[in-house]
Amino acid sequence: MKKQYSRGRLFSIEELDEIVLNSSFKYYRYYYPLPNYNNPNIVFTDRKLPNSKNSKLNYNVIYNEDSLIVQDEIALLKIFMEENKFVEFTNSYIVELSNSEIDDSVKYYSLNNMRKDKYSLIIKMEDDYVKKYPLKKEALGHIKCINKNCKLLKKLGFNIAEEENEKIVKSKVITCKLLDEQIVENINNKEMVYNYIDNWFSYIYDKLLVNKNGITKYGFLDMVFENTFYNKENNEYIFFDQEWYEDNVPIKYILYRAIKNLYEHHPEISEKIAIDEMLERYSIIEFKEQFDNKEKIFQDEIIDNDKKAYYAKQYEYKISSEEIKQIIKDVKKLDKDNVELLAEVKKLDRDNVELIAEIKRLSEKG
């Protein structure tokens, strides 16, 4: 804190409120960037605040090099959200001030800030549409690929949120819940969790024309739970954000990616159902090593190695639970040693008092 404070003032949201309201500007708007305002991965506003089950919270954490990290930042932030304290405890703020009315049509922004330039996009959510733009000009080709994927999915009979466009990806805002959120809400009911997954898998299996060897020609790799809206009343699935496609893919690889993402975005599920148990249920465990290798190749194509190295370094500053236990053990030992040392010092003090008294007695006698 001292080092941070020396570089500039730190303000709580209450202090910022006071400054803004006492300023001469008529209009203002708050933005809540994560992990911080220097390298935002996602930016929320008061029109769109996250809940603890929001998959967008899996942002790339940034820690200061001199920080002592004993708690996972995202896990801690989720606890604050359960108490409706996100605004008070988020990492940083951006305040827009103006004497003319501020456009508040965008509810939140999301940036793919660990990807290669040719895949980097910025996402803007408005009232009626979510729009994707190329973050760099090199990514315009990726925009075209996404729109091409959407056309093919519609041809195969899938409900898709995206509408046809050339220079951006434009999706209708869907009001029903995401499938991953519905699964997480029912993690205490294992049968219900498997019912959700079974129904989804049966739906995509039929439409992706899987052959007898379990291979689909139409390898849409992003048909994951967090990219699927599910209307339970109508048993209707609506897919969006279908960025990645490969020809001739094992259907179980698509299922594997959906399960893997589910556990990465919602690690609390592992407290109820171990991931290997779920992979075993869907006869994927035997392909786990093969699919892990395939996933690594896939991620290596998308992720920028320099950016990955920067974000990976942040986790070097985090202390494991085993290290914390050792620190506590060492502190307790120091406390014990200090108690013993203090007792020895007191004993020496008593001996010194007795010695001084004896010397005084002898001098008086002499």
pLDDT tens digits, one per residue of 185-228:
999 999 999 999 999 999 999 999 999 999 999 999 999 999 99
Q: What is the DSSP string of 131-153?
A: EEEESSGGGHHHHHHHHHHHHHH
- Residue carrying the six token digits 């010695």: 355
Would you tell me the crossing angle of helices 251-265 and 288-302 to the nearest 10 degrees? 70
What mean pLDDT is predicted for residues 151-169?
92
CA distance 302 to 274: 28
**Residue 258, pLDDT score:** 97
CA distance 148 to 146: 5
**Residue 269, pLDDT score:** 93
Using pLDDT thresholds of 50, 70 and 90, give the confidence band for residue 69: low
* Least confident segment among 46-55, 59-68, 196-205: 59-68
302-309: list long-range contacts, CB under 8 Å, 24+ apart: 302/115, 302/116, 302/119, 303/114, 303/115, 303/116, 304/114, 304/115, 304/116, 304/117, 307/113, 307/114, 307/115, 308/114
CA distance 64 to 102: 33
pLDDT higher than threshold 50 for residue 32: yes
CA distance 104 to 123: 15
Looking at every residue in the chain, the average pLDDT score rounds to 86
Q: CA torsion sign, 253 to 259 to 261 to 264?
A: negative
CA distance 5 to 95: 19
Q: What is the DSSP string of 263-307?
A: HHH-GGGGGTS-HHHHHHHTT-GGGHHHHHHHHHHHHHHHB-HHH
If one compares 68 and 102, the residue with the highest pLDDT of the two is 102
Tokens of 106: 């965008």
If one compares 357 and 251, the residue with the highest pLDDT of the two is 251
CA distance 214 to 39: 42
CA distance 118 to 43: 22
pLDDT higher than threshold 80 for residue 338: no
In this predicted model, what pLDDT tens digit does every residue of 218-266 receive, in sequence order? 999 999 999 999 999 999 999 999 999 999 999 999 999 999 999 998 9
**Residue 3, pLDDT score:** 46
Tokens of 214: 């379990």
* Rg of the chain, C-alpha, whole Å: 28
**Residue 41, pLDDT score:** 87
Any idea what the Cα angle at residue 338 is, between residues 335 and 342, rounded to 5°?
140
**Over pLDDT 70: what percentage of the chain?**
87
pLDDT higher than threshold 90 for residue 79: no
pLDDT higher than threshold 70 for residue 25: yes
* Least confident segment among 40-49, 63-72, 199-208: 63-72
What mean pLDDT is predicted for residues 57-72?
63
**Residue 224, pLDDT score:** 96
Torsion of CA 61, 62, 65, 70, to 10 degrees: -30
- Residue carrying the six token digits 């896939």: 298
**Over pLDDT 90: what percentage of the chain?**
59
**Residue 112, pLDDT score:** 84
DSSP 8-state symbol, 317: G
CA distance 178 to 231: 9
Burial of 122 (C-beta count, 10 Å sphere; 0-12/13-18/19+):
middle
Are 110 and 41 contacting, i.e. CB atoms less than 8 angstroms apart? yes
Tokens of 284: 């994927």
Q: What is the DSSP string of 94-132?
A: EEEEESSPPP----EEEE-TTB-GGG-EEEEE-SSEEEE
